[in-house]
Amino acid sequence: MATLIHPIVETIPESSTKAVIPTIMRAQSSHSLDPLSAAEISVAVATVRAAGSTPEVRDSMRFIEVVLSEPEKHVVALADAYFFPPFQPSLLPRTKGVTGFPGKLPPRCTRLIVYNRKSNETSIWIVELSEVHAATRGGHHRGKVISSQVVPDVQPLMDAVEYAECEVVVKDFPPFREAMKKRGIEDLDLVMVDPWCASYHSNLWKTSTYERVPKRSLLRICRVYN
């Protein structure tokens, strides 16, 4: 991140730098360590999805994690020193001959873990966001892909959509419906299937046709009393 800091563009008159530290601060909307906003998440996802080589690849992307890619410590110190109250210029060491400070902070970055169902690949992406991107919902503006890397021989966490799909599959399974009927349960809307993903137990996940499968399911029966 050190190379992302802009050169000093605002200078302080020589007379003001002899005894005091610059006090012209630049408040910005997002601190370097603030959690991602909904707009930033939307733009980061849109950026990665747009980078897919084909529509099929883009549609098969599942976003397991979208979090802030935390900057290095000197960037955080710069934010606290000059850009966010209470301003603390003393956090940065004085450099002989320097008569100013950066005009803005480096752009915030996001880290995304993406699972592609079509290729059965897990990848990690770093996306850079600007202030314009951060203020835009729906991905009308896109960020910049800094890096992307496929991580071989791994499987990410199951997401909420996959857990919901598991419940639908179990409830539509005829032997399951028959088993519930034998126990006097006709209304499957009263049944909640809670899948438990207990990792994998073979090398089948290395094949392109492998789908992640929960090993156990916990059933809960909800009864409504008048």
* Cα of 98 vs its chain's centroid, Å: 37
pLDDT over 80 (residue 174): yes
Q: Count Cβ atoms within 10 A of the Cβ of residue 125 and give its class: 0-12 exposed, 13-18 middle, 19 or more buried.
A: buried
**How sure is the predictor about 77, in pLDDT bands with cuts at 50, 70 and 90?**
confident
- Which residues are paired to 66 by β-bridges? 112
Q: Is the pLDDT of residue 146 over 80?
A: yes
In this prediction, residue 201 has a pLDDT band, given cuts at 50, 70 and 90, of: low
Greatest C-alpha distance within the chain: 90
What average pLDDT does this structure show over 192-211? 61
Q: Is the pLDDT of residue 221 over 70?
A: no
Residue 118: predicted pLDDT = 85
Q: How confident is the model at residue 15 (pLDDT cuts 50, 70, 90)?
A: very low
Residue 177: predicted pLDDT: 93
Q: What is the pLDDT of residue 67?
A: 96
CB 126 within 8 A of CB 51: no
Please classify residue 71 by burial: count the beta carbons closer than 10 Å to its beta carbon, then call 0-12 exposed, 13-18 middle and 19+ buried.
buried
CA angle 12, 17, 19 (to 5 degrees): 150
Q: What is the pLDDT of residue 25?
A: 45
Q: How far apart are CA 87 and CA 15, in angstroms?
A: 22
Q: Encode pLDDT of 33-48 as tens digits.
A: 999 988 889 889 999 9
Quick one: CA dihedral 147, 150, 154, 155, positive or negative?
Answer: positive
Q: What percent of the chain has pLDDT over 90?
A: 26
Read out DSSP for 137-159? STTSS--EEEEEEEETT------
For the chain, what is the mean pLDDT? Answer: 75
Q: pTM, whole model, 2 decimals?
A: 0.68
Give me 8's structure tokens. Answer: 């000093």
Residue 95 is predicted with a pLDDT of 64
In the block, residue with structure tokens 């997401």: 159
> What residues does 127 pair with on adjacent strands?
110, 145
* CATH code, residues 38-85+106-151: 3.10.450
Residue extents of the structural domains in the chain: 38-85+106-151, 158-225
C-alpha distances in Å from residue 5, one per residue of 11, 40, 76, 110: 16, 21, 12, 17
Cis peptide before 86 (omega within 30 of 0): yes
pLDDT given for residue 49 in this prediction: 92
> Mean pLDDT, to the nearest integer, of 181-200?
81
Q: pLDDT band for position 160 (50/70/90)?
A: confident
Work out the average pLDDT over 45-62: 91
Lowest mean pLDDT among 26-30, 87-91, 107-111, 122-126: 26-30
- Predicted confidence (pLDDT) at residue 24 exceeds the cutoff of 60: no
pLDDT at residue 131 is higher than 70:
no
